[in-house]
Structure 1
Amino acid sequence: MRFKNRLPIPDVIQALNPFKMKRERIMNFNPAEGVVIRKPATKTRITVFEYNGNGCTELILNNIEDTFKYTESAHLSWINIDGLRKEEIHMICQQFQIHPLLEEDILSIGQRAKMDEIDDRLFCLLPMIYFNNETSAIEQEQISIVLGKNFVISFQEDPDRDVFDPVRARLLIKGSKIRNSSTDYLCYALLDIIVDNYFVVMDKLGERIELMEDQVQHKPDTRTLARINYLRRQVFLFKRAISPVRELVNGYLKSDSELLEDRITKYFKDVYDHIIQCNDLADNYRDMILNVQEMYHTQLNLKMNEVMKVLAVVTTLMAPPTLLAGIYGMNFHYMPELETRNGYYYTLGGMGILLLAMIFTFKKRGWF
């Protein structure tokens, strides 16, 4: 038999997804497969903030070569590169003396959050996470941050979004702490805003879990379990993405690099406390979604028990009339009461009396 208009497998998966979202792995890096080749970005954007205590200049550059002059600049610089192309990344890594191993990490895909210290460069890589309100899905992009003596370079995958607007605004404020501090404070500020955004995503997940809990309690349907499993997967992916960030921040706390001043340690300690709290919240949300799933199964069992209870009561009520009908329905020629003139009505009346008596008894005992 041939089936016409049959959906391809990816479309079938899409149709089964409760939120109409294709299943994608948020972290798919396999070290055994080596470094995954990244497709070059269709567009790139290079933004530079050159600042000191007296002022800040924001520039948008067209060519990667224009950033080379900031290697030995007297001012501090934040170079943000949106959209990654291998040739451009190689050029800037050579110019700013970034180790080839770090260059590979920058160009990798789905890498686990990490922190490295090679030569006189501090490097970290971590996920920047967003919440898609339309699909209720966790989305992420990989961001790499390189800290040098007088510069910070950040590499982002998506040129259309990030969470750094508060940092940019603070850089433009005269007398702000970030402008009067060294580059290690800027590095802290970037990590802090990324971790703070995790809480925003957590709030969105929490709202979805509360809505799911209300739906399970009041009006579960055939797709409820699929939605619960989908939401549980999003919580799991979020937890798996942020868990290594704790060790990343801890790497800054333990580092003896001259790029990190002692007075900055307390700021990284604050980020460390935040990421620990975020991990704890993720664990709590994971337990909550498991409780919602158990509640759903409990509701199904209660509903099934109610159905079985009604069926049992109906079966019990119909048992005596069925017994009487079976007795008087036997095909014996000689049988008492067969010749009774009003036996049919007596039998129906007896059935009715038995039925009413059983209903009264069940009601009195509170069985239904």
Structure 2
Amino acid sequence: MPLADVDVIRRRFSIGLSTDRVDFILYLYNEYSYEEKYFQSVYELLNLLTNELENDKKSKTRYYWIEVINCSRVDFPKGIKILCEYFNIHPLTMEDIATLTPYMKLNLFHDNCSIYLLMKILTWNGHRVQQQQISFYLNCSQNLLITFQEKSFDNIEPFFQNIRNRLRRQQQQQQNNEESSQSPQHHRLRQFNVDYLFYCLLDDIVDRYMLVMEEIANRISQFDAILMADVRSRTLTTLHSINSLT
């Protein structure tokens, strides 16, 4: 499917552009190279993408992960709309990205070999469960993965930091001509298609689920011991606090 023209999109959105901040982080990689670029202007991102995609037709294929982080108070800033239109993302999918929902969603688009997945990231902040919505758009025909999320919680490590470190670490190993016991795993992430990166990100989210479930199970075990030893009114207060964890 052809990409939309950047200049056409710019003219359409040039009137009344919002200053709502959106961060775009672009990861370009394959077995032989790795680049990481940061943008706050969607047009700078799209101009670079247009050039890179054209170059890929003449050289070795590279894979693209675009991390979109909405730092504004607007549900669907224009910068995200522009990016979606550039890649011809379906309007209903754009609506799903903009809508907060308690439910997961999966859409398959067979005409352009793409997948849209909406799910929740769960984290434990030391006192209660925090959740944040994340959307994935995977297009295998374009070697493209886009993740859409809100700004990460201030008191926890940014989401997917271990995945980024794996991508970076292999590049450092190549530059230093060094090998380590973990290098085969890093090679898998850079050698395989972008759908393997998609799998790794989902695996990271599931790992977070398990950590949250383990913490809740520990809290329940502690409360069970208290309940058996103390049936006074303060037990009800503890029960209420556990019930409000989520």
Contact 2:21 2:40 in 1 (8 A): no
Q: Which residue number corresponds to residue 156 of structure 1?
A: 149
Instruction: Report the structure, 1 or 2, having the larger helix content.
Output: 1
SS at match of 2:27: strand
The whole-number CA distance in structure 2 between the counterparts of 1:113 and 1:180 is 30
2:41 to 57, 63, 71: 63
Q: CA deviation at 1:47?
A: 1.3
In the TM superposition, what is the alpha-carbon distance from 1:221 to its structure 2 partner?
Answer: 3.7
In the alignment, the residues of structure 1 paired with residue 237 and residue 44 of structure 2 have an alpha-carbon distance, to the nearest angstrom, of: 51
Map Cα deviations across residues 319-339 of structure 1 (whole Å, 9 max, x no partner). xxxxxxxxxxxxxxxxxxxxx
What secondary structure, in the 3-state scheme, does the structure 2 residue paired with 1:179 have?
helix
User: Which of the numbers 65, 72, 83 marks the counterpart of 1:78?
Assistant: 65
Percent of aligned positions that are identical: 27
Judge conservation of contact 2:22–2:80 (CA < 8 Å) in 1: no
1:208 pairs with 2:219 = yes
Q: Secondary structure at the match of 1:130?
A: strand
CA displacement, residues 66-102 of structure 1 (integer Å, 9 cap, x when unaligned): 2223362622111101116421121001001110100
Q: SS where residue 123 of structure 2 aligns?
A: strand
Larger relative contact order (CA 8 Å, sep ≥ 6): 2
Asked whether 1:195 is paired with 2:196, we answer: no
- Residue 173 of structure 1 and its aligned partner are, at CA, apart by 2.9
Indicate how the Cα distance of structure 1 residues 99 and 60 shifts in structure 2: closer, same or farther if over 3 A, else same: same
Find the residue that maps to 1:171 and give its secondary structure: helix
Contact 2:152 2:159 in 1 (8 A): no
Q: SS of 1:173's equivalent?
A: helix
Out of 123, 126, 131, the residue aligned to residue 130 of structure 1 is 123
Q: How many residues align?
A: 194
Displacement of 1:157: 1.2
Determine the C-alpha separation between the residues in 2 that align with 1:157 and 1:167. Answer: 18
Q: Which amino acid aligns with 1:100?
A: P
Per-residue deviation, 1:217: 2.4
How far, CA to CA, are the matches of 2:85 and 2:146 in structure 1? 13
SS in 2 for 1:210: helix
Other-structure match for 1:114: 105
2:81 pairs with 1:101: no
Task: Report the Cα offset of residue 218 of structure 1.
Answer: 2.5
Q: 1:111 to 1:210 in 2, by over 3 A?
A: closer
The unaligned stretches of length 5 or more in structure 2 are: 1-17, 57-61, 171-185
Correspondence for 2:25 = 47
Q: How does 1:133-148 map to 2 (within 5 A)?
A: 133=126, 136-148=127-139
Q: Secondary structure at the match of 1:178?
A: helix
Larger C-alpha radius of gyration, 1 or 2? 1
Paired AA for residue 70 in structure 1: L
SS in 1 for 2:92: helix
Which whole-Å CA distance do the structure 2 matches of 1:58 and 1:220 have between them? Answer: 57
Change over 3 Å in CA distance of 1:138–1:212 after alignment to 2? same
Deviation at 1:186, TM superposition (A): 0.8
Counterpart-to-counterpart distance in 1, 2:66 and 2:202? 15
For 1:263-302, list aligned pairs within 5 A: none
Pair 1:180–1:132, CA change in 2 (3 A): same
Q: Report how far residue 127 of structure 1 moved.
A: 0.1
Alignment RMSD: 2.3
Q: How far, CA to CA, are the matches of 1:63 and 1:128 in structure 2? A: 26
Segments ≥4 residues shifted beyond 6 Å: none
Are the aligned partners of 1:146 and 1:153 in contact in 2 as well (CA < 8 Å)?
yes
